[in-house]
Amino acid sequence: MSSTLTDDLLGAAQAGDTEALNRIYIELSPKILGYLTARGAEDPEALTQDVFLSLFSRLATITGGEQGLRTFAFSVAHARHVDEIRKRSRRPALYSYDPSADERTTLSAEASALDNLAAERALSHLRRLNDDQSDVLALRIIADLPLDDVARVLGKSTGAVKQLQRRGLQKLKELLVEKDSSHHGV
C-alpha cells in the first residue's frame, strides 16, 4: 500500500501546518477506523476521533518520522480500545433508540448489503480468532503496520507477533476451507 505520509509532512504538521494535519488525518483515519471496527469497538468513529485528539495534542513529542507517527497512532488506538473494553466490563452501557429522532441517512438496504458483504465475512472470520491473533492480523493487514511496530503496540516480542500472525492466518485458512467444504457438500 502506498502512503502519502512522509517525514517532511510530519515535520510540517509538528510546526502547525493545518494542511499537513489534514493530510495525516485523511491518510490514517480510515486505517484506524478499520482497526477499531475489526476489534469490535462499540463506537469506532468516536474512538477514531479520540485517537486523533490525543495524536494531534502530542504531535510534537513524536519521534521516528513517518513510521514513528504510524506506530504512535496505532498505539493510541489500541489503548483506547482496551480502555473501552475495560469500561464496558465495569458498567454495561444501555442505549435507547428512537428511529423518529434519527436524522442520519443511509444507503438502501440492498446497496448497504452489497457494500458490506465482503467486509462482514472477513470480520466474522477475524472474530473467531483469539484476541491476540485478531489484534495482530488487524494491525498487520488493516493498519498496514510492520511486525516491529505491531510488537511495540501490543507490548510483545517480534517473534511472538510472527507466531500469532502465522497461527491466525492458519486458523483463517482452516475456517475458509471448512466453510467452502460445507457449501460444496464435501
Enclosing domain of residue 186: 110-186
Q: Residue 135 to residues 2, 30, 124, 132: CA-CA distances in angstroms?
A: 22, 17, 14, 5
Q: Can you tell me the distance from the alpha carbon of 25 to that of 51, in angstroms, rounded to the nearest whole number?
A: 10
Q: What is the CATH number of the domain that holds 31?
A: 1.10.1740.10
Choose one of 63, 93, 123: the last residue of a domain: 93
**Per-position pLDDT tens, the chain of length 186:** 456 889 999 999 999 999 999 999 999 999 999 999 999 898 999 999 999 999 999 999 999 999 999 999 999 999 999 999 888 778 766 677 777 777 776 666 666 665 666 667 777 778 888 999 999 988 988 888 999 999 999 999 999 999 999 999 999 888 878 776 766 654
Q: What confidence score (pLDDT) does residue 21 get?
A: 94
Q: How many CA atoms are closer than 13 Å to the CA of 38, on its beta-carbon side?
A: 29
Same domain, 89 and 114: no
Q: What confidence score (pLDDT) does residue 29 get?
A: 95
DSSP summary character for residue 143: S
Q: What confidence score (pLDDT) does residue 80 get?
A: 94
User: Helices (DSSP H) in 91-106: which residue ranges?
Assistant: none
Q: What confidence score (pLDDT) does residue 141 get?
A: 83
Q: What confidence score (pLDDT) does residue 2 get?
A: 53
Contact (CB, 8 A) for 93 and 48: no
Q: What is the CATH number of the domain that holds 180?
A: 1.10.10.10
Q: What confidence score (pLDDT) does residue 142 get?
A: 81
Q: What confidence score (pLDDT) does residue 93 get?
A: 60
